[in-house]
């Protein structure tokens, strides 16, 4: 089965006064129907750039994004419309993504009216249907966003994304602005929708616990490059790359019952304007050795599935 969306050697370099800023380099990934891919990394790792390229808010300087195997740059006007319908984003903050002056029915109806040939009655029926799918009711359609809690607003944002029957939902930290109790509810709604509609999801997050719950596969990005990829259960419980181990330690450190781990992230993420030589993680890695400073490791197949770009893994492990 061919992917709904894929990226191939995707890169974005910005020209700045301080020199070239490599926000994203050589990112290749697939989003398959019914599957959930996680993209993980700290803020500043390139996740936002990746989102913007996928949503056609920016243009790559290397590689390409493909929709059903056709490069976005080659889509016809009608195909672009189909792409915008098929790929729907849900952002972190439902407060800023919902127009406070519009009633919920209009919020959900607007993108539908712009992108489909459905009649008004069909659109209204669809609005009721998606509100119910996210655990709200058609009565909620006549209320304003301010009348809802934060968790309910995120459900409205999900309903709006769902309304045009997308094939891929791009979920950018969709629960990180919510209370813990609300997070689980929203994640369950998203998971049920994915299973019911066979949606592909691209789930962008810094939180491995959430990614483990939601995803089948995960790619880990550091300073704009993929450093590890593999099955979610491996990446989120027994990661092989020291950076992913540090992310996992950071996730576990939020849990008071979790064991102390030695590999929490050390220091600040370096500036992408002056990335370290060799392995980009060597300035923070507790296992760095001379080779790490001189030579960038290539992605290698790793035990447990997927690939890891680390000299230690290359050399046979720890
Ligand atoms: Fe650490 Fe070296 Fe592996 Fe980079 S290549 S992650 S510095 S051990």
Least confident residue range of 147-156, 202-211, 259-268: 259-268
Mean pLDDT computed over every residue of the chain: 89
More confident residue, 51 or 96: 51
pLDDT score recorded for residue 262: 45
The pick from 221, 223, 265, 279 for probing ligand 1's pocket by mutation, whose C-beta has the most ligand atoms within 8 angstroms, reads 279
Distance CA 87, CA 214 (A): 18
Distance CA 12, CA 53 (A): 9
Q: Which residues contact 276 (CB under 8 A, 6 or more apart)?
A: 270, 282, 283, 293
CA of 209 to the centre of ligand 1 (A): 24
Query: Quick one: pLDDT band at residue 195, thresholds 50, 70, 90?
Result: confident
**pLDDT above 80: residue 265:** no
Which residues form ligand 1's pocket by a CB distance below 6 Å? 242, 279, 281-282, 285, 287-288, 292, 297, 310-312
pLDDT score recorded for residue 23: 96
The pick from 225, 296, 312 for probing ligand 1's pocket by mutation, whose C-beta has the most ligand atoms within 8 angstroms, reads 312
pLDDT tens-digit readout, 236-246? 999 999 999 99
**pLDDT above 50: residue 261:** no
pLDDT score recorded for residue 186: 84
Query: Quick one: pLDDT band at residue 170, thresholds 50, 70, 90?
Result: very high
CA of 253 to the centre of ligand 1 (A): 22
CA of 310 to the centre of ligand 1 (A): 5
> What is the pTM (predicted TM-score) of this model?
0.90
pLDDT > 90: percent of the chain? 62
Q: How many CA atoms lie within 13 A of 158 on its CB side?
A: 30
CA of 11 to the centre of ligand 1 (A): 22
Atom of ligand 1 nearest to the CA of 243: 6
**pLDDT above 60: residue 224:** yes
CA of 256 to the centre of ligand 1 (A): 29
CA of 218 to the centre of ligand 1 (A): 19
Angle between helices 77-86 and 104-115 (to 10 degrees): 150
Q: Which helix (H) or strand (E) holds 12?
A: strand 5-16
User: 189 by DSSP, 3-state: which?
Assistant: helix
């Amino acid at each position: 089965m061919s992917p709904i969306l894929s990226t191939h050697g995707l890169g974005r370099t910005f020209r700045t006064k301080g020199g070239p800023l490599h926000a994203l380099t050589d990112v290749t990934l697939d989003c398959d129907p019914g599957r959930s891919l996680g993209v993980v990394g700290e803020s500043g790792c390139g996740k936002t750039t990746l989102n913007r390229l996928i949503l056609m808010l920016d243009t790559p300087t290397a590689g390409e994004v493909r929709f059903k195997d056709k490069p976005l740059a080659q889509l016809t006007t009608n195909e672009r419309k189909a792409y915008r319908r098929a790929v729907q984003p849900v952002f972190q903050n439902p407060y800023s993504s919902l127009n406070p002056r519009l009633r919920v029915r209009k919020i959900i109806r607007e993108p539908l009216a712009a992108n489909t040939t459905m009649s008004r009655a069909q659109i209204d029926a669809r609005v009721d249907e998606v509100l119910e799918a996210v655990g709200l009711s058609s009565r909620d359609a006549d209320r304003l966003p301010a009348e809802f809690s934060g968790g309910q607003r995120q459900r409205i944002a999900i309903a709006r994304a769902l309304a045009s029957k997308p094939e891929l939902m791009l979920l950018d930290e969709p629960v990180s602005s919510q209370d813990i109790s609300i997070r689980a509810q929203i994640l369950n709604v998203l998971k049920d929708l994915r299973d019911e509609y066979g949606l592909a999801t691209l789930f962008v997050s810094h939180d491995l616990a959430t990614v483990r719950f939601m995803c089948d596969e995960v790619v880990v990005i550091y300073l704009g490059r993929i450093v590890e990829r593999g099955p979610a259960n491996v990446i989120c419980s027994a990661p092989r790359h020291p950076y992913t181990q540090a992310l996992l330690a950071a996730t576990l450190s939020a849990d008071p019952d979790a064991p102390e781990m030695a590999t929490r992230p050390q220091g600040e993420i370096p500036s992408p304007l002056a990335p370290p030589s060799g392995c980009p993680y060597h300035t923070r890695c507790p296992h760095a050795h001379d080779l790490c400073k001189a030579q960038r490791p290539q992605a290698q197949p790793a035990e447990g599935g997927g690939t890891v770009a680390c000299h230690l893994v290359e050399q046979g492990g720890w």
